[in-house]
């Protein structure tokens, strides 16, 4: 499976799994059709009834059970192997660089922690884990980089997480693989993998209007969030959290919701809480927060989430530079 470059640590594992699945499937296919052809020849028209009866009497249930059980065990092993790869693919390391990716007909908008922004281009350093937070402004898209063997649906109003570690420098194509309208075929971008020195130089040279967290902090105040939610410097009453939860230490903590469910306040939780507050309302707070759906763009939500992550100093919000 060498028709595509293996540009990530994940790519080789995916290729080996796929090769194993194809080889085993071909072996089972050959066994099944081989037995079919053998029985067609042995029991073809013209063979005497006595010969056919004698052959039938030698039928071995043990053989059938053995090869059926063996193939079942092999395919179940492949299933467990694929499950392990799937789970690993959604558990980024704590020191992963966090980059926000927003799909929009028909472009990819990229935001970096340092405030740099791009359209249809993604720059990452080689050898460092990168976590992508994916969302869409309009319809369902699908983010795919074949050289890295990563692919994930991108849904409107929701964060999806994906991570990778690039192992090879160079430029690779990035696609939308979900039909999303007339301009779907034009929704492509370029991933550029750079060495550490070049990546640092690119970050310093790319225009930025302050870090993403700084923009989010200003937005936190301008949107009136600080009127109810306590933060590190902006709080209606640092000792009173009866109206709304404090944002300090919220990210990464365990939250009990009004319906009794418990969840972890990750980036997706923060994003969804802003757009759909009733579904994420805490059990200890009767005040209902208004929805900001249609008020804040996905770029603004990314900045807010980045700021709220900085209010939990015990957890690294994601290395940006």
Q: Which residue, among 241, 287, 245, has the nearest Cα to 265 in the 3D structure? A: 245
Q: What is the pLDDT of residue 132?
A: 94
Q: Which residue, among 108, 179, 180, 178, has the nearest Cα to 139 in the 3D structure? A: 180
Same domain, 194 and 235: no
Domain assignment present for 3:
no
Lowest mean pLDDT among 52-56, 74-78, 213-217, 314-318: 314-318
Same domain, 225 and 243: yes
Same domain, 110 and 136: yes
Same domain, 135 and 85: no
Q: Could you give the CA distance from residue 109 to residue 299 in angstroms, rounded to a whole number?
A: 9
Burial label for 57, CB within 10 Å (0-12, 13-18, 19+), is exposed
The length of the chain, given as a count of residues: 321
| CATH at 116 | 2.60.40.420
What percent of the chain has a predicted confidence (pLDDT) above 70?
A: 83
Domain assignment present for 320:
no
- Left (φ > 0), alpha (ψ -120 to 50) or beta: where does 130 sit? beta
Residue with the bigger pLDDT between 246 and 106: it is: 106
Domain assignment present for 317:
no
Q: Quick check: 249 and 226 in contact, CB under 8 A?
A: no
Residue with the bigger pLDDT between 318 and 288: it is: 288
Same domain, 102 and 195: yes
Q: Respond yes or no on whether the N-terminal peptide bond of residue 221 is cis (omega within 30° of 0).
A: no
Domain assignment present for 115:
yes
Total domains present in the chain = 3
For 318, residues 6+ apart whose C-beta sits below 8 A from its C-beta are: 96, 97, 98, 113, 131, 309
Q: Could you give the CA distance from residue 187 to residue 185 in angstroms, rounded to a whole number?
A: 6
Of the residues 205, 232, 255, the one at which a domain ends: 205
Same domain, 102 and 197: yes
Same domain, 135 and 152: yes
Q: Could you give the CA distance from residue 138 to residue 278 in angstroms, rounded to a whole number?
A: 22
- The predicted model gives 161-189 an average pLDDT of 93
What is the pLDDT of the chain when averaged over all its residues?
A: 82
Same domain, 68 and 104: no
Per-residue pLDDT reduced to its tens digit, 8-25: 888 888 888 888 889 988
Per-residue pLDDT reduced to its tens digit, 122-135: 999 999 999 999 99
Domain assignment present for 108:
yes
Of the residues 179, 205, 231, the one at which a domain ends: 205
pLDDT interval class at 318 (50, 70, 90): very low
Q: What is the pLDDT of residue 221?
A: 82
Domain assignment present for 316:
no
Q: Which residue, among 206, 109, 126, has the nearest Cα to 171 in the 3D structure? A: 126
- The predicted model gives 52-80 an average pLDDT of 78
Domain with 193 in it: 97-205
Same domain, 29 and 72: yes
Reduce the DSSP state of residue 247 to 3 states and report it: coil
Q: Quick check: 270 and 308 in contact, CB under 8 A?
A: yes
Same domain, 260 and 198: no
- Token pair, residue 282, equals 């805490």
Q: Please give the distance of CA 126 from its chain centroid, rounded to a whole number.
A: 19
Q: Which residue, among 239, 223, 216, 215, has the nearest Cα to 289 in the 3D structure? A: 223
Domain assignment present for 247:
yes
Q: Could you give the CA distance from residue 258 to residue 245 in angstroms, rounded to a whole number?
A: 13
pLDDT interval class at 1 (50, 70, 90): very low
Place of tokens 């066994």: 31
Domain assignment present for 321:
no
Q: Which residue, among 173, 170, 175, 172, has the nearest Cα to 126 in the 3D structure? A: 170
Q: Quick check: 135 and 155 in contact, CB under 8 A?
A: yes
> Is a pLDDT exceeding 60 seen at residue 43?
yes
Of the residues 205, 231, 249, the one at which a domain ends: 205
What percent of the chain has a predicted confidence (pLDDT) above 90?
A: 31
Same domain, 196 and 223: no
Reduce the DSSP state of residue 80 to 3 states and report it: helix
> Is a pLDDT exceeding 70 seen at residue 248?
yes
Q: What is the pLDDT of residue 45?
A: 66
> Is a pLDDT exceeding 90 seen at residue 198?
yes
Q: DSSP labels for 160-210?
A: EEEEEEB-S-EEEEEEE-S--STTGGG-EEEEEEE-HHHHHHHHHHS-BSS
Same domain, 104 and 165: yes
| CATH at 305 | 1.10.760.10
């Amino acid at each position: 499976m060498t028709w595509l470059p293996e540009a990530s640590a994940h790519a080789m594992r995916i290729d080996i799994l796929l090769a194993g699945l194809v080889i085993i499937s071909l072996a089972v296919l050959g066994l099944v059709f081989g037995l079919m052809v053998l029985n067609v020849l042995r029991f073809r028209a013209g063979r005497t009834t006595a010969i056919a009866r004698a052959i039938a009497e030698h039928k071995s249930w043990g053989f059938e059970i053995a090869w059926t059980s063996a193939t079942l065990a092999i395919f179940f092993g492949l299933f467990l192997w694929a499950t392990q790869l799937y789970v690993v693919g959604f558990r980024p390391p704590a020191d992963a660089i966090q980059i926000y990716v927003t799909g929009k007909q028909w472009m990819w908008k990229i935001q970096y922690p340092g405030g740099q922004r791009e359209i249809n281009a993604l720059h990452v350093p080689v050898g460092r884990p990168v976590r992508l937070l994916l969302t869409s402004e309009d319809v369902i898209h699908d983010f795919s980089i074949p050289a890295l063997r990563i692919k994930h649906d991108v849904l409107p109003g929701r964060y999806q997480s994906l991570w990778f570690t690039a192992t090879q420098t160079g430029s690779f194509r990035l696609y939308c693989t979900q039909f999303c309208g007339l301009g779907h075929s034009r929704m492509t971008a370029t991933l550029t993998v750079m060495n550490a020195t070049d990546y640092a130089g690119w970050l310093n040279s790319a225009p930025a209007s302050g870090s993403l967290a700084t923009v989010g902090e200003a937005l936190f105040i301008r949107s009136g969030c600080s009127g109810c939610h306590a933060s590190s410097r902006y709080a209606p009453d640092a000792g009173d959290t009866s109206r709304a939860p404090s944002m300090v230490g919220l990210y990464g903590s365990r939250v009990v919701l009004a319906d009794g469910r418990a969840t972890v306040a990750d980036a997706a939780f923060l994003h969804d809480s802003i757009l759909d507050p009733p579904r994420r309302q805490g059990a200890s707070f009767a005040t209902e927060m208004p929805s900001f759906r249609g008020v804040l763009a996905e770029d603004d939500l990314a900045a807010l989430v980045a700021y709220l992550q900085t209010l939990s100093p015990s957890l690294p919000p994601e290395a940006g530079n």
